[in-house]
A and B are shown apart, each in its own frame.
Chain A
Amino acid sequence: MNKRFNTPGGRVFDAFNYVFLGLFGLVTVLPFLYIIGNSFATEAEITARSFFLIPKEFSMSAYQYIFSSSTIFRSIGNSIFITVAGTFVNLLFTLTMAYPLSRKDFWGRNVVMNLVIFSMLFGGGMIPTYLVIRGLGLLDSYWALILPGAIGAFNLIVVKNFFQELPAGLEEAARIDGCTDIGVLWRIVLPLSKPVIATFALFYAVGHWNNFFSALLYLTDSAKWPLQIMLRQIVLLSQGTVGDMANLDQNFVQPPEQAIKMAVIVVGTIPILIVYPFLQKHFAKGVLLGSIKG
């Protein structure tokens, strides 16, 4: 706390504390820096040198390979499509549902809210959910990765609470001017909620980009595989010693070189690193909002 009151013991504590936290921070970023650095190295340098962050000889060949391999390239395209379409569906469903629930004169809002909250406490589990998706004919369709997660219950509640806090007068005025409820949502509520919408768009997008589980469950058609599944094929299953070679898909390429593995990891992480500064601005607030309510 206050410097003036620091004892010798406190100074030792401080020194230890700064060193410890500094190391913790370092341990967090080093693996990323190592992977990024090595992805630009030649295979010869990776085999020859044990640990380095900056390659002596800069090479793009791993990335050239990725973008020339049709399977990897296609999976990147799949991931981008799923992320964009999925986030759009998420926002559409979440915002349209949150608005009626935020209106106090809306009959049935309590019933629906309880329905939502109960779904957070108890779920059907993996197999019944799978059977529903299969029953709807969504297996092997991109929709199986988008629709089942269309609304995050927690996100819905946060957005609903945000809408409730907006000044009621503006909405009243718009309605007197002849706006329908949809008009009020579109012209008044949404423009006022841009920061919240941006936050949840980012959260949803990160979720879609990182999603591995749904693709594993619902997609057997390798042409539709997102990058996360591809990443597992390339890095984890090509491990030789692991003995899971039988799991390899037949259209899998040669056991890739180290640099290529690193480069695929980088491609799988880059979007997160790009949106992270934007995310970071908002997430502390989002978490706080939820935790105080909890």
Chain B
Amino acid sequence: MTKAEAKQKARKRWLAQLKRNKWLYVLLAPGLLYFLIFKYAPMWGVIIAFQDYQPFLGIRDSQWVGFDNFTTFFQNPDFFRLLRNTLILAVYDLIFFFPAPILVALLLNEVTKSWFKRTIQTLVYVPHFVSMVIIASITYVFLTPNGGVLYELIAQVTGRPVDVLSNPDSFRPLIIIQMLWKEVGWGTIIFLAALAGVDMEQYEAAIVDGAGRMRRIWHITLPAIRNTIIILLILRLGNFMDTGFEQIYLMTNSLNREVADVFDTYVYQVGITQGAFSYSTAVGLFKSLIGIVLILGANKLAKKFGHSGIY
């Protein structure tokens, strides 16, 4: 069979399956259109970061400016403030938030009374499903200087009233505590799932060998979830610069703005409310690029240390 013949045969087969599966293509169309319009068109739109985009001219006729938007951003005094705020929050997140679900999962795994374990799990999953606005609202209601319960408790314990909500020093701890309260319980699910697969005989063998509680946790339970921890760490590093727009936005006020502004809220501020589309797109792109570099780097590092990585 010659090349041309093979080609023609393949084409015939393709046409035949096209005809046979025509309804499948009809079914696929809305979803495919969705991805092209709402996911791929914005990806293409990223090129306005290299333009002086004028809405009435459109992408095709707007002027190209190369990396001007990026250099403007790097020379802006806001740049270091944003970078600092974003990095500090990300590092806090990694130090205080990331290990918390692992710890709670280890503790839950040690619970023998299944009714207790189930009850606690049911309770601590709830905040994950509640909106960030509700979480922020609850925080405000509890901490308001106009009679908030926690505000008064803090005032009584420390002997002096502190307005946590508007104090720049308490902004970062507040954000982390909110995250802990909202997501730690939910974060345990994946580790508990990994632990459910551990062979019970390993524990029995360890007990026979005289291993105490801590030794069993250290040598059996932790290694069992090591891969899950590494994968989640890599994924987290990939989102290192994502500080949670809604949370930061909702907790920001005119008094804590200095420490609260991060890349995401800045993009919203400059892009949507002030209409600087090209400039804010450049800021957003800069942020995503750092994220991609981080995820690739973390993955490489994980592979170097003999773990599988995520791809």
Interface set of A (CB-CB < 8 Å, partner B): 1-3, 5-7, 9-10, 13-14, 17-18, 20-22, 24-25, 27-29, 31-32, 34-35, 46-47, 50-51, 92-94, 96-97, 99-101, 103, 105-107, 112, 115-116, 119, 122-132, 136, 147-148, 150-151, 156, 180-182, 185, 206, 209-213, 216-217, 228-229, 231-232, 235-236, 239-244, 258, 261-262, 264-265, 268-269, 272-273, 276, 279-280, 283-284, 287-288, 291, 294
Contacts and interface: CB of A to CB of B under 8 A. Distances in A.
Contacts, number: 282
Contacts of A264: 137
A148 B38 contact: yes
- Among B31, B126, B145, B146, the most chain A Cβ lie within 10 Å of the Cβ of B31
Given A115-B35, A128-B45, A265 B141 contact: yes
B228 to A, nearest CB: 8
B185 A107 contact: no
19 contacts: A21-B116, A22-B120, A24-B120, A25-B123, A28-B123, A35-B141, A96-B28, A96-B31, A105-B21, A119-B40, A126-B268, A127-B272, A128-B42, A128-B44, A181-B24, A210-B130, A213-B245, A231-B133, A242-B165
A126 to B, nearest CB: 5
Interface residues of B, number: 99
Contacts of A287: 189-190, 193
A283 B108 CA distance: 18
A259 to B, nearest CB: 11
Per DSSP, chain A at the interface is helix
Interface in B259-311: 264, 267-268, 271-272, 277, 280-281, 284-285, 287-288, 292, 310
Nearest to B292: A122
Contacts of B250: 212, 232, 236
Contact of B163 (A2, A27, A241): A241
Nearest to B251: A236
B46 A268 contact: no
Contact of A51 (B27, B132, B149): B149
A240 B148 CA distance: 14
B94 interface: no
A132 B45 contact: yes
A5 B131 contact: no
Contacts of B115: none
A228 B41 CA distance: 28
Nearest to A182: B23
Nearest to B36: A115
A21 B214 CA distance: 18
Nearest to B27: A96
- Among B34, B146, B147, the most chain A Cβ lie within 10 Å of the Cβ of B34
Nearest to B135: A31
Contacts of B253: 239, 242-244
B42 to A, nearest CB: 3
A291 B193 contact: yes
Nearest to B127: A28
Given A93-B30, A100-B28, 9 more contacts: A28-B127, A128-B45, A131-B277, A210-B131, A210-B132, A236-B133, A239-B144, A276-B126, A283-B125
